[in-house]
Amino acid sequence: MRMVKSLLLGSAAGLVAVAGAQAADLPVKAKPVEYVKVCSLYGAGFWYVPGTDTCLKIGSYIREQVEWNAGNGGAVIGIGTGGDVGAGRFTRTDTSQLSIRTRAALTVDLRTQTEYGTLRSYFEGGFQTSTLNGSAPANDVVYFDRGFIQFAGLTAGRIRSYFDINSLAPYGYVFQKINGDTGALGLWGIAYTAQFGNGFSGTISLEDGGSSSQGNNAGQSSARGHFVANLSMASQFGLGTTSLDNEGWKFPDVVGALRIDQAWGYAQISAALHDASAGYYQTGGTALAAGIQNNGHPSDAWGWAVSGGFTLNDVLGMKGDTFGLQGVYTVGASGYATRGTGAYEIYGGGMSAAFGWMTDGVFTTGSSVALTSVWGINGAYQHIWNPKWRTSIYGGYVEVDYGGSATTMICGVGGAGGPVAAPSGVALTGVSNCSPNYSFSQLASRTQWNPHPDLDIGVDVMWTHLNTAFAGTATLAANGARPGGVYTISDQDIISVFFRIQRNFLP
């Protein structure tokens, strides 16, 4: 009996030892894996960055666009497209009527809740390649059009101007010139927005007034964007890059806006103050001539702009339809009325041409700066036929008025001034009607098919009309492929066509 008891106790001890050894061999329990979680605070596409309370959304688009009678990503030929289109070289050999652009963009949106509200940083940039007027793919570029921080009502970085109200980008593919919206490229700015409740807000902003080609008076970055022309220079009206005579950028534009956002849409009024000061008086040569500062200069000049507009949702009860209208008036601040701030030069059939020059103001030796008035109106309507088809129509009108003082400087007393230089530098002589005032209008319609919500396929057709300056006759010297002789300076028209296919992801 004692022997059996010993065997049983020994067996039990052995089992305990074996079980203990096996338990020691078991793996240690792993820590819980921290999976990515959806962040529902800011809409679709956001998720929490693991280990943080920050929400992230990454989006992108890839676009292929083909343009006929246009270039540079949608700029109508002859309207600020530059190259050989001006200088009389809009011909079958010198200018390609077909151009192509491919663009790929990436967006990164980071948001974190703080005791002061949402802390947000946003970036948009990408890559593009294009052919313009027969150019090679050497036009490959890296770009970015947004990069800003928002916190407690402050916004700072590369932004869309707070002066802007309606953008025509949702309605068409054209880099249109009939309003001054900066959304395509963005600009530098720092702003504070106060929320008053019930959708009302007010913003005060300091913005780029022309230090770069994307500022509120964009176009000639080397001339700091102010478009002030010194008519005491050798050319009487050469308002291209050689005759701009601006003071360096010393103060940002001041922009203010009041806005209401509601379910029915939104409305806004805006105002801006813009530095349109000139460089030095001179009797010829360039603004870099030795000793130029001894010539003196005009007193500082300040331009201004005002605008009002609205957009309505679900127009006439039709779900998804939108209608927008905006008007703007500027004095010495042309970039707020139009992005078409370059020279306008269109050659028609035979001996005909149309011209137009955009400036903030002009001056001559001993004078002050005579500011240019530019005003415009634009509107757009989009109808949603069904979830896969939509059609829009949009357009606008811009008028440029130099006023009596500037016209006298350009044309001389009684209109008997010297030769007037075209944007390409070729002088107009024997001008029968010395009036630099002009206007232009654009009207377009786009139809888009969305076979998938993330895929856009569409065609946009635009008519551009240039109501020329100096309407009448003038003698032009030989210019590019154009012969010299007496030309009819008359209004010109352009029809342009744009095709786009674009894949969007979390825009």
pLDDT digits (tens, 9 = 90+) for 129-163: 877 554 445 567 888 899 999 999 999 999 999 99
- Is 13 within the bounds of a domain? no
| Contact predicate 242/286, CB 8 Å | yes
- Is 1 within the bounds of a domain? no
The domain total for the chain is 1
- Is 146 within the bounds of a domain? no
- Is 372 within the bounds of a domain? yes
Cβ-Cβ contacts under 8 Å for 189 (sequence gap 6 or more): 155, 156, 157, 158, 159, 161, 162, 205, 206, 207, 208, 252, 255
Residue in this structure with the two tokens 């500027």, named with its chain if needed:
330
- Is 185 within the bounds of a domain? yes
- How would you write 168-205 as a 3-class SS string? CHHHCCCCCCCCCCCCCCCEEEEEEEEEEECCEEEEEE
Alpha carbons 166 and 481: distance in angstroms, whole number: 40
Residue 240's pLDDT is: 37
Alpha carbons 249 and 272: distance in angstroms, whole number: 16
- Is 324 within the bounds of a domain? yes
DSSP lists the bridge partners of residue 375 as 329, 399
**Alpha-carbon distances of 193 from 135, 160, 196, 326, rounded to whole Å:** 44, 14, 10, 22
Q: For 360-395, what is each residue's pLDDT tens digit?
A: 888 888 899 999 999 999 999 999 999 999 999 999
Closest CA to 383 of 293, 464, 284, 314: 314
**Alpha-carbon distances of 289 from 191, 222, 225, 236, 250, rounded to whole Å:** 39, 16, 20, 18, 22
Closest CA to 113 of 30, 36, 201, 41: 41
The count of other CB atoms within 10 Å of the CB of residue 42 is 14
> Is the pTM above the cut of 0.75?
yes
Sheet holding 228-230, edge to edge: 228-230, 361-363, 370-371
Domain that holds residue 346: 166-499
Residue 84's pLDDT is: 44
Q: What is the DSSP letter of 38?
A: B
Low-confidence ranges of the chain (pLDDT < 50): 1, 3-5, 7-9, 12-13, 15-19, 21-24, 81-84, 134-136, 219-224, 233-242, 285-287, 416-417, 422-423
- Is 156 within the bounds of a domain? no
Residue 460 tokens, joined: 């946009």
Instruction: Tell me how far apart the terminal alpha carbons of the chain are, to the nearest angstrom.
Output: 86
**Alpha-carbon distances of 150 from 44, 73, 156, 199, rounded to whole Å:** 20, 30, 7, 19
- Is 95 within the bounds of a domain? no
**At 16, which amino acid appears?**
V
CA atoms within 13 A on the CB side of 150: 16
Closest CA to 310 of 298, 322, 319, 320: 322
Residue 236's pLDDT is: 42
